[in-house]
Amino acid sequence: MPDGILSYIRSRQPEIVALIRKLVESESPSGDPAAVNRFVELLADELAGLARIRTFKGGRFGSHLRAEFTLPGRKKSGQLMALGHSDTVWAMGTLRQMPFREAAGRLWGPGVLDMKSGIAFLLFAARALRELQIPVARHVVLLLTSDEEVGSESSRPLIEREARRSQAVLVLEPGQGLAGRLKTSRKGVGDYTIAVQGRAAHAGLDFTAGASAILELARQIERIAGFTNLKRGITVNPGVVSGGTRTNVVAAEARAEIDIRVVRAKDAQPLDRKFRSLKPFDKRCTLAVTGGLNRPPMERSAGTVKLLRTAQKLAAELGVNLEESASGGGSDGNFTAALGVPTLDGLGGVGEGAHAPHESLLVNRIADRTALVAKLLAAL
Ligand SMILES: [Zn+2]
């Protein structure tokens, strides 16, 4: 027997695609609050009649949006949180080189996968539940942050407050790979900056009076790179270095910006201690170390595994074999999982190329993903 929700959603697929197009064509780079706010307004219009909307100021970023859906079912207890973000990594005007288009069984365009399709799926999941009168036992709240792609500094308190009220968090980030695997764990992410102060001198006239910040930094980088422990899932990546002024000057200054990732929360502190206790090789140089973990890891908890099992069972009803995976990237789900709230991530679009010019969404996975979200809202 065909699944009722799935056939309903299939019948609405052209409208889902049209909404994804609308969302993609409203560009929303993290660093452009006016653009993000236009996107948020557009979405608020789409949600009107489906949900009660509130927006929260995002400081130097755009507004965060909270939508509480009106769904069938008399008595509601507890809350399910759907989590997403309105911002993208794509600069304003990217649409000119990467216009929204449908080709080769995919939708293409900036943010189509990460994560405008996920937002569209949730909206149509809610519509399906309403139009099919499928009761939902819990309050369903969508929180869309405006600064996820740049670390969520302004939205983190809001995410955590909403998560604490919730029994489960469903993250609308894209699935992993072309199979659309769900993400049950994510690495924690942080960054450090090491600024070296040396002593400038003429490289020809007074070489020995100089203390090269660049040489010092190079030796520190070698040491820092040694903090990587692939077996434990700890990586340390000096991603940006700068320093010096001219070839004939012993460099007085140099700095490195370093990305760190940990699988386990308990590895963050010892790593931090290693960074903090770095000592200069050349005593005439000084080091200033700043930074730390900004997203705690999402560890694969029992609560999350239980959510996964439910999702797998529901996906099987849709004829989909749903697998899980671990991600090296962070999302806002890291914050909710770290609070101990069962969090299932990667429920959004299936495709590839997030943050890359070939960002694209598989059209033939739109319906089952949307149906899965609807079924989860009804089942949890
Ligand atoms: Zn994302």
**Predicted confidence (pLDDT) per residue in 5-60, tens digit:** 999 999 999 999 999 999 999 999 999 999 999 999 999 999 999 999 999 999 99
Q: State the pLDDT at residue 3.
A: 87
Q: Say if CB 291 and CB 192 are below 8 A apart.
A: yes
Whether the predicted pLDDT of 212 surpasses 90: yes
pTM passes above 0.85: yes
Dist. CA 79 → ligand 1 center (Å): 23
Q: State the pLDDT at residue 245.
A: 97
Dist. CA 350 → ligand 1 center (Å): 13
Residues 6+ away with beta carbon under 8 Å from 282: 198, 211, 212, 215, 216
Dist. CA 87 → ligand 1 center (Å): 8
Mean pLDDT of 127-152: 97
Q: State the pLDDT at residue 30.
A: 97
Residue 182's pLDDT band (boundaries 50, 70, 90)?
Answer: very high
Closest CA to 110 of 296, 350, 359, 308: 359
Dist. CA 365 → ligand 1 center (Å): 18
Dist. CA 205 → ligand 1 center (Å): 54
Question: Other CB atoms closer than 10 Å to residue 53's CB: what's the count?
Answer: 17
Dist. CA 95 → ligand 1 center (Å): 18
Dist. CA 85 → ligand 1 center (Å): 7
Dist. CA 346 → ligand 1 center (Å): 9
Dist. CA 331 → ligand 1 center (Å): 7
Ion ligand 1 residues within 5 Å by Cβ: 114-115, 173
Q: Which two tokens stand for residue 192?
A: 């450090």
Q: State the pLDDT at residue 60.
A: 97
**Quick one: what percent of the chain has pLDDT higher than 70?**
99
Whether the predicted pLDDT of 2 surpasses 90: no
Q: State the pLDDT at residue 1.
A: 56
Dist. CA 341 → ligand 1 center (Å): 20
Mind listing the pLDDT tens digit for each residue in 71-124? 999 899 999 999 999 999 999 999 999 999 999 999 999 999 999 999 999 999
What's the sign of the alpha-carbon dihedral 148, 156, 258, 237? negative
Widest Cα–Cα separation across the chain: 87
Dist. CA 348 → ligand 1 center (Å): 10
Residue 170's pLDDT band (boundaries 50, 70, 90)?
Answer: very high
Mind listing the pLDDT tens digit for each residue in 291-323? 999 999 999 999 999 999 999 999 999 999 999
